[in-house]
Amino acid sequence: MAVKYLEDPYYYWYETLQRSNEENWYDRMKSNLKQFDTYEAWYENYKKLFTVHAGSPVYVIDDINRYVHNDQYGLTVSIQLTYPANEILDAVKNILKEYQNPHRGRPQLDDLGDIFQLASMADYSTLKILLDVYDLLNVSEELKPSFYEVGVELDLSPKSVIEPGDSPKDIRDKTTTMNSLVSKYHRWSKELISNAEEGFFPVYGTIKKPKRNELGFLINN
């Protein structure tokens, strides 16, 4: 499964789930999601189930797929950045006074389509690397490349590539550095998939897994 570079967190969510075991999925995922042959079909079918931000009340719409129509839970506005920041903030406050109901509270699950939330901001380059590393190493033992070979193939550390004329020490040092880097990415790739099965994406490495409230929505630790 070749992974493309796309600045789209849901594409990497899809690709991660494609590499997961559906039997291990979080109950809400089992009830609402299925694996699809293509990302386009998967996203078209399930896009209303996902939030369009990662824990922030304000975000930049940098893709047409992230646009949502105005409703009681969200409002899309245009900001003229040529104005002074204080005037922009005052204008936003006035919009909130007009449109926000401070007593509405968090909607019940049945009233909300976006029941799956991003657990952190997506680092697209790292996500692609993790999935590429996973794919190269997720093969039978007789076909499995070394960590060093994976690092060279994916160009993960050009300075760690062994060159003609390198001394034995240089070769050892470069091999150790590349092995360590690929080992880390391989560990993170398995964490990425395991956490995605629990409904947390993208979570790996030093990224903390958030908690869920009584409705199942993610909350900051």
Whether the Cβ atoms of residue 76 and residue 68 lie closer than 8 Å to each other: yes
Per-residue pLDDT tens over the stretch 110-160? 444 456 888 888 999 999 999 999 999 999 999 999 999 999 999 999 999
Vertex 171: Cα angle to 131 and 179 (nearest 5): 25
Which uninterrupted H or E stretch holds 211?
A: strand 211-212
Give a yes or no: residue 93 inside a domain.
no
Q: For residue 18, what pLDDT is reported?
A: 96
Give a yes or no: residue 94 inside a domain.
no
Tokens 């304000």 sit at which residue? Answer: 58
Give a yes or no: residue 87 inside a domain.
no
Give the total number of structural domains in the chain.
1
Give a yes or no: residue 98 inside a domain.
no
Contacts of 3 (CB under 8 A, 6+ apart): 12, 15, 128, 131, 132, 135
Give a yes or no: residue 89 inside a domain.
no
Give a yes or no: residue 99 inside a domain.
no
Per-residue pLDDT tens over the stretch 78-124? 888 999 888 888 898 888 888 877 655 544 444 444 568 888 889 99
Q: For residue 111, what pLDDT is reported?
A: 42
pLDDT band at 68 (very low <50, low <70, confident <90, very high): low
Q: For residue 71, what pLDDT is reported?
A: 63
Range of the domain at 55: 9-79+109-219
Q: For residue 96, what pLDDT is reported?
A: 83
Give a yes or no: residue 103 inside a domain.
no
Give a yes or no: residue 151 inside a domain.
yes
pTM above 0.75, yes or no: no
